[in-house]
Structures are given as C-alpha cells and as structure tokens.
Amino acid sequence: MADAAGVIIGSVCPAARVFNPEATMARVSTYLNFPRCTEEALLFYRSVFGTEFNGPMHRFGEMPPCEGQPPLAEADRQLVMHVELPTLGGHVLMGTDAPESMGFAVKPGNQVHINLEPDTRTEADRLFNGLSAGGVVEMAMQDMFWGAYFGSFTDRYGVRWMVNCGAAG
C-alpha cells in the first residue's frame, strides 16, 4: 500500500519499516492499547475509514519465547500483538491487546502512545533522551526481536511515547 506521496507503507510488527525497506521516510503514528478487544476495535475503525490494514494482524503466539519470562498463557496466544490501519492524510492507527497476564492494566490515560519512527538511530536516541528527560523510562532504547531499535517512556507531562527505529547501526 502507498500513501498519498507514493511512499510504500507496510507492517508485520511495531517495526513496520524494518520489514519494508522501501518505506524510509520518518513518520508519526498513534498506538492504541486495548483490554483484549483490539481486533474488534480495529475492524470497526477499518469499516469507518474504509481502508485496509498495512500487512497482517499479528498475534502474541508469533512472538518468540523471552528468556527469563514465563511461557505465554494459552488464552493470550490469539490476542493481537500488532496491527496497523491507515486513516486520513497518511496517519496510521496501530493497536495491540494488553493482556493482564503480561502485567498490563489498561485504563484511561495509559491506552495511547505517540509512536515516533525516526530514520536513524542517532535521531532515535536524540528524541528518546530529549523527550524522556524528567519522565519515566519504561524500556531503554535497545535492539528488539522484530529487528528494530526501540524504547518507551512517559514524559514529564504524563504523555506516553514509543521510539521505534528500523534503521541498522
């Protein structure tokens, strides 16, 4: 799928552009967390916007086991790990289920993240360090299993952010 400028957009997990090297422009999207109803919500949004998902709806069961973590609960394996839906003007809604078994508790105020996808790791670090100053880092910038350089935090004003860079090195 291409946006209005003809830039190809695609996704298979939060590191969408890692899997689609043709999509190299930085972008900003909105990431939504749902209490076990992501599929229902994004299917509804798709019907309203009349667009199609960028790639498949990925499930937690596709995630590799995490060292030092308990195995994924069977009831959580079919929950949505990541999905993307273009809306208007090139903006993309992304979504995930937030299973209680993984320590999540969705409530007003923690269900939305601003997702930054810079072009370089240097820019990713600059944005992460600048915006997280005085806030609370949830996950420091690090290489992730989906191939991206990723980190998340809540800034000093209570806004939740994710920085997700698909660029190597």
146 domain-assigned: yes
pLDDT in tens, 157-166: 788 999 999 8
CA 75 → CA 59, 71, 79, 166, distances in Å? 12, 12, 8, 30
E strand or H helix that includes residue 124: helix 121-132
Indicate whether 49 belongs to any domain.
yes
Mean pLDDT of 110-135: 93
Query: 21-25, 92-96, 134-138 — which is least confidently predicted?
Result: 21-25
Q: How far apart are CA 10 and CA 8, in angstroms?
A: 7
Q: Is residue 84 part of a domain?
A: yes
Note the pLDDT tens digit of each residue in 20-76. 444 567 899 999 999 999 999 999 999 988 999 999 999 999 998 888 888 888 999
CATH code: domain of residue 143: 3.10.180.10
List the alpha helices (DSSP H) in 111-159: 121-132
Question: Is 48 part of a structural domain of the chain?
Answer: yes
Residue that has been written with the tokens 């946006």 in this structure: 3
Number of domains in the chain: 1
Q: Examine residue 80 and state whether it is found in any structural domain, yes or no.
A: yes
Residue pair 15/151 in contact (Cβ under 8 Å)? The answer is no
Residue 9 forms part of a structural domain? no
For residue 118, the enclosing domain spans 16-165
